[in-house]
Each structure stands twice: as structure tokens, then as C-alpha cells.
Amino acid sequence: MPDKEPTPPDSENRWSRFSKTGAFWMLMLMVLFLLMQVMRGAGDRVNEFTYSEFLDEVDAGNINEVTFKGNRRLEGELKSPVARGEAEIVEFWVVTPGSDTEKLEERLIDSGALVSAEVPEAGFGVILMNFLPWILIIAVWIWLFRTMQGGGNRAFQFGRSKAKLISPDTPKVTFADVAGADEAKQELEEIIEFLKDPGRFSRLGGRLPKGVLLVGPPGTGKTLLARAVAGEAGRPFFQMSGSDFVEMFVGVGASRVRDLFEQGKAHAPCIIFVDEIDAVGRHRGAGLGGGHDEREQTLNALLVEMDGFESNEGVILLAATNRPDVLDPALLRPGRFDRQVVVDAPDVRGREGILRVHAKKLPLADDVELGVIARGTPGMSGADLENICNEAALLAARNGADLVAMDHFERARDKIMLGTERRSLVLTERERKLTAYHEAGHAVLGLKIPGLDPVHKVTIVPRGRALGITASLPEEDRHSYTKEWLEGQLAMLYGGRVAEEMIFGLGAVTTGAGNDIERATQIARRMVTQFGMSDVIGLMAVGDSEHEVFLGREIGQRRTVSGHTARLVDEEVKNIVDDAHQRARTVLEEHKDLLESIAQALLDRETLDRVEIEMLEAGTPLPPLLSAEVLPALPVEAEPAPGAVVEAEPGAAGAPPG
């Protein structure tokens, strides 16, 4: 396919040049006319008589002839010159005070003057002033029409595409700036090679893909990959958001789709990138307007343009979404989106690569080990890792350091994963003690139940909305979860409530375990209804209700199981959580000394790291506290509820249920 350089339409350039040139010359003519009027008035000012002077000359009989003209103007000639300054005036003009000139005419005739009258001719100035309003109205109308018109038979500017053409002068992002998505990069590199050398693939009968859909959770780098494609392709690249298609005006979205593909065909081969395509590509038939819904019309136009009666050769549609489940099936079929590229959360090697990309611009200290940070951030997306690097740099600047050290990265990671410390929040001694035993209960269960992830940190310093946090981090990425791990996680979640019951009694338990109980119930219900981990229900997938979706919102529920089965599910969920509660009590009663030692250490130190926790588990006394500067209070961020156990892999694929 021959290459085509992206050039703007010649008609638009010609009209733009013409309109600018015409407006310039029109302005110059108006200025020239005004200058001529001013100069003419300045020249006539010398020959101007006042009405009193004129009457004096009439009474003196010095008027030879006079001519009446329009607008009460009289022009005449004197018999004898009159000196005015250094000049002698023979010809003069004067403006009469009124339109009734009968008595003046008689007076002039009696003085012996020759009296005549003329009808003034319409000069250029008069014609221009008469027609100037119409000229301005027509010019404004033409300008508005050309501005709003979409070209051809399109009505107004509303119907024109809002896509932005990425120019070669724009700072480029290349695949070297993208890490942690090797498979996605490979798929997109093949698309770029297809654009650069289509004959390499078409000689065996292959055709250029029409659409590539980037699918993945938020923050995994879908838009960054699209920017890298724009930087690597060396072809015209149009960028647009899905929300830019739909407006309040009917038919605007479909018109913009057609205009977008017309621009694409004019610059083929090219790439069109539509971000958040789910804004326009949702299932049809879910709107109030049925087939006449504006969003559905836009989607229909998009389907036809991608693979309709007329082919769009050389135009590749690249789209991104984190909601592939809501897209219309007709949009996802081969021939429209030929490929779906999954951009998932990176693994440990990918996370290290992402950290290296973002750490290039940071002055790092010698003790920084990005591999250690990558192993301690499972489940984090590329956006989260970039945020860690940025927070570490901000912490280093706040502390007046010249280099970003490992301690800054550790504190930045804890801030993002656990929440911002709220040292300004004053707790009573009883609240501190309750929180210490609550978190100690979680920590003991995390240490003593086999198969769970190692406890990373325990703190009773309020972070976000939580009064205390126990964080666990896996030693390696986990993509699936065993029944043993889930049951251990349930017991750990109940560790805080059981510790409160054992130390303070049933009547003194707090609301700190509310989030723990909610999450434990969700995990237990999914074990029963989805994972087939119940002997009573068996391997049948049981849904409590089927949600009816209306415009993306649940407006009702329709039960899909019998009442007997629903009762069995509830009983089995209760049995699982009761067993977890009892298991947590058994472990804590067996290791009550460890519970006391961790709680007392928390009251003394407020925060325990992994090394200190392992020392307490081994019965080794902790080293004495060193004086340290207290960090200033930072803004509050929304985080888990009081006493929450932070999940090891937030947002990861295959993350623990609940």
C-alpha cells in the first residue's frame, strides 16, 4: 500500500487564507476611507464660515454666488477675498442652522448674489455607509456557516470529530519506556511491523488487522502502550476518548464516527486510538430509547465503519477499556476487533522493570535495591509503582536529602499500601490498648497458622481510617488460592475479635472487627457458592440472585435458586465462619504469651517490622529504642476500617475473594 503523508485538506487551507486576506483588505479599506474623511474635514475647516460671518458678508454685499446643497450646507464665492490668518479666502462653505431657507434666499437675492441649488450625489462614502451593515451581516453569516459546517452535507461543528492528530514533533514515548507488559508489547510491535511493511505479511494471504482492544485493570499501562505505539509507528496517529462521541444532540456521535474514519482514510495507513471505548460500545438494547438511543446510534455507526459494506483499508482502530464485560458482542467479533490484548498486573520481574523505568530520573542512593521493592509490592499496577517512586522522591525532598534512599522507598510503599500515618490523632490509653491487642491477635494468627503469608508489619499508629493495621506480604506472586490458605485467612481475620474477647471480655468488644467480619463472610460465601469448597453444596455453582442490569446499574434481583438451597448456603457459610472463629480462639489460647508480648511491644514502640516480630516469636528481647524524629502529620486518606488486615495482593489477578 503506498504511503500517504498527512496533509490538511487544501480547501480548508484556501478558505482560511482567503478569509484572513479578505478581512485584512476590508479592514484596510475602511481605515483608508476614515482617514480620507478626516483629511477632507481638516482641509475644509479653513474655508468654513460661521453663520454670523456669512450673514455679515451678505449684508456687506460681498457674496458673488451661493449654491444650496443637502444637509443645510451652502457653498459660495466671495466678490472680494477675505483674509484669514496668512491665507485669503475666496471660496467658502457654511452650515445653516435650520432647514427653512426662504428668508435667507430673499436676503441673498436682495444683496445681488446669484443663488442656485444642487442635489448632492451619493459618493463612495455614502454608498459604503449605506451598505456596510448588510456587508457585515453577510460576512458574519458566512463566517459562522463555514465555522459550524462540518463539510459536505454535515450540519455543524458538533458533528465533526474531536480526534487529535499526534504530530511528529510531539515528545515520543517508545516501547523502551514501557515495562511489565512483554506479551502486549509483542502483539503491538507486530501491528507496527504490519503498518511499516504490509507486504511481508500479505504475501502469504494475511490481512491488516482492523482493531486491537487493550483490556486490563486500571493503572496497568493501556494508555501508555497506545502512546508507545504512536511513538514507534511513524504513521499518523489519531487520539480520541469514547466520551467525546456522545453529546446531548441527536446524531452527533454517529456523525463524529463517520468524520473520524474519513480523516483516517485520508491519512491511511494510520492508527486511531479510542480510550475508554466502553463509554460508547456498551450492550445495545439497554437504553430508554431502544434502537433510537443516541449511544446506540453511535455504536451502530462505529460497527459499520469498522466492518461494513465499504472497507476501511489501512485504518487500524486501537481501543482500551477496563470493562470488556459490558461491550457489545458485535463489537468484539473478529473482523472488527481482531485481537484482544490483555494488559494485566505485572509479575515480580515486570514490577522491577517498571521501577527501573520510573527511577531513571531519580538520584538514587547506593542502598536502593529495586528488586527488593518489587518483591514487596505484589499485585501493584504500573501506576501504583510510579506513585511509589514519586512519593519516595517527595519524602527525600521533605527530609532535605540529596539522594533517594531505600528508607524513603520503604516509607512510600507503606504509605500507599497501608495508608497515611495520622500521628495527630490522639487516642486514649484504653483505645491504644484495645488496638494493640486487636492487631497482636491478627499477628499471632499470621505467625502460627501454616501456609499464610509472612507478617510484614504491625502498627497501632492510625493510618487513613484505620486505628491499627497488620500487613502481610507474600514471598512470591500467587495466582490461585488453596482451601487451606483461605481457611487460614478466615482464622486470621477473626484474630482481632478473638483477642478482644479473651483480654477484655465479650461485653467490651469493639466495632474494630466490623470490616474483618464482612470480608470473612464474603470469602466464606464465595467458597460455598463459587469455588465448590463445601461438602454440603458440592461442586454446583450457586448464585443467590441474578442482577438485572439497566444502563450499567443493578435495579432488581431475580432469585435463581430454591429457598431450600439458599438456606443450606447460609447455614454452610455460618459453619465455615464459626469454625474459623473457633480455630482463632484455639491458636490464641495456645500462644497467649506471644499475644501479650506483641501487644506490649506495640504499646511501647507503636510499630513492629518483620524482624522484630520474628524476634518476639523466638523469645529474643528487642533492642532498646533509639530516639527518632517523629514524622509530621500528613493528610488523611481513605483506607481500610479499624483493625483491618491488609490484603497481600490488592487488585491482583486471582486476588483472594472478599
Judge whether 439 counts as a catalytic residue.
yes
Count each helix (H run) and each strand (E run) in the chain, helices first.
21, 16
Give residue for cell 500500500.
1
Q: Under 8 Å CB-to-CB from 19, ≥6 apart: which residues?
A: 143, 146
Give the Cα-Cα-Cα angle 285, 291, 295 (nearest 5 degrees).
Answer: 80
Give the closest residue to 356 by CA, choosing from 501, 179, 492, 227: 179
Catalytic residue (one of 296, 391, 439, 501) = 439
Side chain identity at residue 419, one-letter code: G
Give the Cα-Cα-Cα angle 569, 574, 578 (nearest 5 degrees).
Answer: 150
Q: How far apart, in whole angstroms, are the C-alpha atoms of residue 326 and residue 281? A: 8
Give the Cα-Cα-Cα angle 347, 352, 355 (nearest 5 degrees).
Answer: 125
Whether a cis peptide bond, with omega within 30° of 0, leads into 346 is no
Q: Are 468 and 453 in contact (CB under 8 A)?
A: no
Q: Are 589 and 502 in contact (CB under 8 A)?
A: yes
SS3 of 288, please?
coil
Handedness of CA 650, 652, 655, 657 (dihedral sign): positive
Residue 571, C-alpha cell as written in the block = 447455614
Q: Under 8 Å CB-to-CB from 556, ≥6 apart: which residues?
A: 547, 548
Q: Are 472 and 495 in contact (CB under 8 A)?
A: no
Determine the straight-line distance between the first and last CA of the chain, rounded to whole angstroms: 52
Which residue numbers are catalytic? 439
